[in-house]
Amino acid sequence: MGKIDLILRNTVETITRHELDKLLRSRKKPSVYIGAAPTGKVHIGYYIQAAKLKDFIDAGLDVKYLLADIHAYLDDRKSPWNLAKARSKYYKEAMTAILKSIGADTKKVKFISGSSFQQKKNYIFDLYKIMGLIKLKRAMRASSEVVRQVENPDLGSLNYALMQSIDVHHLNADIAYAGIDQRKIYMLAREEVPKLGHKKPICIFTPLVGLNKSGKKMSSSEAQSAIYIDDSPTTVAKKIGRAYCPEGIIEGNGVIDMVRHVVFPVDGKIDIVRPAKFGGNKTYLDLSLLEKDFKAKKIHPADLKSSLATIFNRYLAIVHKHFKNKKSIINAAYPK
């Protein structure tokens, strides 16, 4: 697969493709960044971004991962100040383990904490400048799909979007990568950041993937549906078994989406294991053939779920091994 194909695989929008093509022609090793606010415990939804980061690494991009500790506090204080450092450390270990479990070169990912640069003079001045450009309703609209929304929001939640807009420049990144729920923030960045004298970021978005009927991305606050990276194999299988996977339906099917965005990019295949009376075992090397058979009801949802659970338990075995002697990191981040 070519460089541009790797970069754009399984994405829903690139703003703009022309700018991306120009960047790839002019820069030998462009940089891309993604940010995560270290709040709740990490779940398998992070495999979506990990698989995409592996694509970026394999395409030769310089990958930066922002541990947005200040953002974690600004979003309705989801992480208190006294736990910011511990949770950032946990997220770094968790993402390192996840990337390792899918065969990504973890040495090529640079982890950066937000507090390491977001308190510096030049950053604060840029924040003041963009605050002077943005109206209240615009800031609320930009962050509406990302931070917790209330009728009378904290000022911190409004600053969330403004800080994210200038993070791209201060991380010296060419490309901002995020889920499509971040689109409004990055459109604000593209429109307003050039007024500060900085270049507008190229933006790459991937879809939101979850395993419940709502179609929303997996959330660590929903313990019944979120599959945490420290869940036991039995729990993983049980939770995937409850996933929304309507027979014969591809659109909005979270199990199919996980196969599309994680399993095929990482493994290049999926093995459906089932008794001979139900069709016997079958290996699919082509996603379109899998989808065709599922749509034709030649694959039962229970068999697809079972196969997905087996795959994720294989990945998570590596994650569990990574954390075997690091339980103190989890306990410090989430004290009981």
SS3 136: helix
pTM surpassing 0.85? yes
Residues 252-300 pLDDT 10s = 899 999 999 999 999 999 999 998 888 899 999 999 999 999 999 999 9
With CA atoms as reference, report the closest residue to 97 among 140, 135, 44, 148.
Answer: 44
The architecture CATH gives domain 233-333: Orthogonal Bundle (1.10)
Return the SS3 of 329: helix
Residue 126 has pLDDT above 70, yes or no: yes
pLDDT computed for residue 155 by the predictor? 79
Residue 336 confidence (pLDDT)? 84
Question: If DSSP codes are grouped into helix, strand and coil, which group holds residue 183?
Answer: helix
pLDDT band per the 50, 70, 90 thresholds, residue 213: low
Task: Answer whether 3-206 and 233-333 agree in fold.
Answer: no
Give residues with Cβ within 8 angstroms of 180, minimum separation 6. 12, 13, 205, 206, 207, 208
Asked if 79 contacts 38 with a C-beta cutoff of 8 angstroms, the reply is yes
Using one digit for the tens of pLDDT, what is the confidence trace for 293-313? 999 999 999 999 999 999 999
How far is C-alpha 310 from the chain's CA centre?
22
Q: What is the DSSP letter of 42?
A: P
Q: Which residues contact 118 (CB under 8 A, 6 or more apart)?
A: 70, 163, 167, 170
Pull the structure tokens for residue 225: 């549906």
| Mean pLDDT in residue range 106-113 | 97
- Residue 43 phi, psi dihedral angles, 5° rounding: -120, 180
Kind and range of the H or E run holding 139:
helix 136-142
Cα–Cα distances in angstroms (integers) from residue 229 to residues 55, 140, 209, in the given order? 21, 32, 16
pLDDT tens-digit map of 194-204: 999 999 999 99
Q: Evaluate if residue 224 carries a pLDDT over 70.
A: no
Mean pLDDT of 77-95: 92
- Supply the pLDDT for residue 75: 79
Is 2.40.50.140 the CATH classification of the domain at 3-206?
no
- pLDDT at residue 147 above 70? no
Strand 175-179 and strand 202-206: pairing? Answer: parallel
Q: What's the CA gap between 306 and 311, in Å, rounded?
A: 9
Q: Look-up: residue for tokens 């933006």?
A: 203
For the chain, domain boundaries = 3-206, 233-333
- Tracing tokens 């829903």 back to the chain, one arrives at 12
